[in-house]
Structure 1
C-alpha cells in the first residue's frame, strides 16, 4: 500500500521509499475520516518496529506545520495529555522530541474510527442507546480530567475515536494550541467551530464548562448527524434529538456556562439499566475489523503486557485483532456489543483503577486560579494558609481545600511579607504607602495595627525584615535613600505585643552589599545578620572583600562576634548563600558549593558540580540539593560534603541554559525538581524517580512550566502561570 507523503523533514526514508517519523514506520493514510469528513490534523497509520504495535500518528495540519509557535504549543499539549487517566482517553505511545522540526503524537488505539467515520459506516446517526453509552463514557473521562486539574479543550467529533473496547478521546489541547488566550479562535486551523463553546470564540481561557459544551456538541452530532451550528441542529432544533437525550444534551449546549451540568451530573443522567443495544452497531464493528485486517499485528518476541494505566483497559492488541476479524466472519458484534461499552451505562461512575506505574503523578487535591500574575513563591503561614503574592496584590488561599479567603489589592512591598505569631503577618510599608509596617490578620486580610514611627525622621527608617520569634520582631533600619544618611545602620528588636522597641544595636556595615538583604537567622540564642553594607548600596570599596556575618544576642543585642569566610566574597554576582542546620554557611557559585562553619569561619568541605548553577540550593536536615544548568540534581551530605546521588531530569528543556530549581519536602523524603518542562519528584534517599507532574498551562506556555514550587506539611505546592496546585507528598 502506498505510504503517504507527510513531510520531507519528518525523518528518515527507508530504501524502499517507506516514510519514517521518529521511531515509527508509516504504513498508510488513516481512513478514520473516510468519506470526506474534515479534520484539522493529519493522521496516518504507523508501526513501531521495536514492539510491533500499530499506532495512530497525529501531526499538525500542513498550514500550521511551519509555525514555530504552534509547534511549541502542539508538543506541549501532547506532553500534558500524558497526565490524562482513566479508560476512555487514548494512551499516548510517543511524542516528538523537543528538537524535532516536525512535531507529532502517537496514540495506542488502533483500530479506531472517528465519530464522523463511524456515522458514515453506519449510514447515519447512531442508535440512542449507543449515544447514551458514548456520552456516559466521555462524561466519566471529563470528570476524571477535571478532578486532576486538566481542561481538555479539544473535544470534537473528529477527536472522539470508537474502538472495539470503547470510545477514546484524543485532540487534547488543540484549542489552546491553535491560538493564544484572548485571541479570537473563529476560523482557525485545529479548532472545530461547531464544538467550540461560545465564550471561547473571542479567545476566553478554556475552562471545564467549555469541555461540557464540546461534549454536548459531540453527542448532538452522534444522535442527529448534524453539528450544533448546522441549520436545524440543536439547540435551535432540539426536537431532532431523541427524547431521552434532549434535556441532557440541550443543557450541555447552553450559551450560559453556569447552566451547563457538571460531568458527574451528566454521567448520572446518561446512565441506563442493563439491556441490549449499547454495543457497537454491526457496520461499525465490521469497519473496525476490516481496518485491523489491513494492518495485522506483527509478532515480536514475547512482548510484555503493559502494566499500570494500560493494565485492565481491555483485551490485548492480538485479541482485539482476532475479535475484529471475527466480526467480518459474521459474529454478533451489534446487539451484544463489547462489554466495555456497557460498563459505564450499567455500573455508573467509578474511580479509575489505581495507577501502579512508578512515575505517575498523584491527582492534585485542588487547583486554584489566581486572578493576577504571581511575583514569587507563596508565603506560608502556619502551614495552613498560603499568601499568593503579586506586584501590589495578595490573595490568601486555605491549604486544606484551596478556598480563597480574601484578596487585597493595596498591599505595598508584597514580596517581603513575614508570618507572625497570633495568626498575623507583617506587611512592610503597610497599605497606604506612607506608613512603615503593618500587622495583618491571615484569616481576614484586615490590618490589625500599623507602626509609623520608623520613618527616617525622629527614628531611623525601616529598611528590611530580619526575623521573628514569638512576640519579638527584628528588623534593619538606617540610611539608604530616605534622607537618613546621618543615621548609622542599626538592628532593632521590637515587641509585637506591646508595640515597643526592646533594643537597638548599631553595626558598622549591617546589611548586604550590592543586593537585597537576606533574612536573619536565629541560632543558639543569637541573631545572625549579614554585615556587608546597607541593602542596595554598592559593594564595600572598589575591590573584592570577604563575606561577613555578625552575631547579636537575641535578648539584649550584645555583639557576640563577626566572621569572614575564606573564598566567599561580596563581589560574587549570581552567588547563592544560605545558612543550613548545624551552623553551616553554604555558598553556591558557578560550579562550586562551599560549606563553612558559621561561628568559626573555617571551611568544612567543597563540592563541584558538572554544570553551572543558577538557583538557590535546598537544605533539609542533613541533605543539601542543588540543580545545575543541565537539570542535573545533586544530593550532598551536609556533614561531609560527600555526594549521595545525582539525577538528571527525565525531560530536559529546549533552551541552551536550562533554569531549574530544587525543593525538599517538609518530611525530607521527597526532592522536587522543577525545570522548564515539568516538576519531577525524586526519592530523597537515592534519587530514584517517584512521579512527574506537568501542570496545565495556556496559550504559548501550555505544557511548559514557568513558575514556583514550594512545600507545606504533606503538600507540594506548584505554581504555573496563574494556577496553584496542591499535590499530596510524603
Structure 2
C-alpha cells in the first residue's frame, strides 16, 4: 500500500514519484505519474538501488527483459508502460493496480469463496496464455505476484523476475523461484523451465487462494523442496478444496509437465460468472485507492519534510518479489558443477533439490517470502484489519501503546466520534483475577489477564462476550498482552499461545511452549507471530522464534539471546528486546542478531522514525538510539526522573511525565519546548494533542506549546475504591473515549476531552 514520500520532489525518467510501494534487496518500487500529464494513469516505477554494481551484462539483460515484457498485451496482466536500461539508475514503469496482492488479501480476510477462486483462476490462465504467446515465461507465479483489482486480478512481474533475480542467479547456476510455489523442474535450473511450469505454479496459487495454505507447506524448507521434487501435495490441503477446484488443481500439480493442462484448457475448466470479490477484499480495495489519493494530495501540497527510509509493504506470507533476495545478505554464487553423464529426470530433480538447499543455506539465493515492515509497524495511528470472519467488513484495530511502534500515538482518529463503538456510553466492569493490557478491535475490547488468558467485552457496554483461560501459569510471570489480527485473537499464557476467533472465542490452534521454557513475551506483526520463550531451569536465557500467524505451527526461524524480557517491539524490519544489561536488535527475516547495545536496560522501548527511545521507570532521562546500529545519539531530559512511559508521535514531540512536571521535547534535537506542573499522569498522543490520564480525570494538552486545553473529563460515579485510586497502568483512546484497565480487574470506559 503506497505511503507518501517526504522531502523534495523526486523523479525517475519522466515520472514524478508520489509514494513508496516497497523495497527489496536490489531496488525500490514507487507510485508515480508522468510529469506534466495529470490525466495520465498512475504507474508503479521500479528503480535499481544506487549502491549496486551495474555491469554492462546487467544492463543488456535488463534491456532484453524490458523488450520482452513490453511484448505482452493482456487485459489480465499489468502492462509494462516504459523503461530505460541506460539511465544512471535503470528503471521501468508498469501499470499501477490499486488493490492488494492475493497474499495480502488472504492473510487479512481469509481464503476466497470458491466462485471467486474459479474466476481468479480463469483470469490468470488467460494471462498466462497471453504471456506465453509473447514467448515470455513468468517463472515466479505466486500469491504476491497476483494483484486484485476492482474488475478482476492482474498478473505482475512477468519476465521481470528474470531481469532482477536471474541476472545474479542463473549465471551462477542457481535457482529462481519461491519455495512452496515452484515446480519440480524449477529445481533442475532455469534451462528446465517450460510454459507448463507456470501452470504448476498457478495450481499452487489457486490452492492457496481457496484454503490459505500452499499445497507443499511444511515446517522445514528441506521438506518443502523434497515434496515439490515428487509433486507430493498435502492430501489434507487438497481435500479442503471445494469440489471441481480439487480436480483442476490436482491436474496442474502433475509431476510431468506434459501431463498438465494448457492455459487455454484451464480457461474452459474454470469458466463461470464474472469475478465478484467478497466484502473483505472490496474493503481492502478501498484502502489502497484511498492511500493512492493521499500520496497524490501530499505530492500536490509539496511540503518539504525530513527524508525518510522507503516504506516497506505489509508483511504477509508469500509476499511479492521485491527486486532481489529476501535475506538482505549478499548472494554467494555456487559454482556450476562440471558436465555430468545424462541422468534420469527424477535424479536430476533430486540433485536440483540438493543444490537448492545448498543455495538457501549459504545465500538464500531463492526468492524466499519477504518479511518486512507491515501495516502494524506504522509510526502512528491504528491499523485496519479484517473483521472476525472472512468476507466481513474490516474491523479497526487499536493496539496497545497506540500502534506497532509502541510509541503511544493513537492518531487523530482517536478524536473522531465516527470511530466510537456504536451505542457507547460510560461503563465499568470487573474481571475476575485481574486485568492486563487491552486492545480494541471494532466493537470488541479484548483484555488480557495478569498471567495470561483473555476476556472479550462489548466495547459499547462492557458486557462480557467470552473468556479464554491462560495456557499454563508460572508464578510471577506476566504475559498480559493479547494481540488481534485478521479476526484472530492471540491469547498469551505461560504455557504458550492460544489462537481464538475474535467473534466467538472458539479455539483455532495452540502453540505450546517448548519443554523447559515458558512464554515471556509475544507480538504479532504483519502475519508473523513472534514469541519469546524463557528457560527457567538453565542458563541458556531466552529463545526467540517467528511463526506463521495463520497456523502457529510453521516456525520460520529461532534464535537465542540472554535474559531478555518485556514486550517485543517490531519496527522497520527489526525485532527489539531488552535484557537487564543489553538492548538487542534481530533481523525479522532471518532471526540473526543485527545489533546490540550493552550497558543499557529499557523498561519502556518505543520507536519513532529511524530512532529508538529507551527509558526506565524511576531512572533519569530518555536515551535515544539509532534504530539500525543501536549507537547512542543523545539523552533527552537527563535531569528528569521518568514516572511513566514516554510518548512520541506524528508531531515529532516527545512527552515525558516526570515526578514534578509534564514536559514536551523536540524529538530530533532534544530541546525542551514546554513544561507544565502536572504530577502523576499517564500521557497518550492523539495527533496534535496529548491526553493525560490521572487518578480520576483525563486532561488534554497542546503539543506545540503545552498547556491544558479545556476542563478535564472525570469518571465520577465509577467505583474508584476498588481500583485503589491509582493511575491506570494501561489505557487506550478511540472515538473521543478512553478505555482503562487496572491490575485488580477493574476496566473502565469514559469520555476523553
Tell me the TM-score normalized by structure 1: 0.35
Q: Whose RCO is larger (CA < 8 A, sep 6+)?
A: 2
The structure with the larger Rg is: 1
Tell me the TM-score normalized by structure 2: 0.34
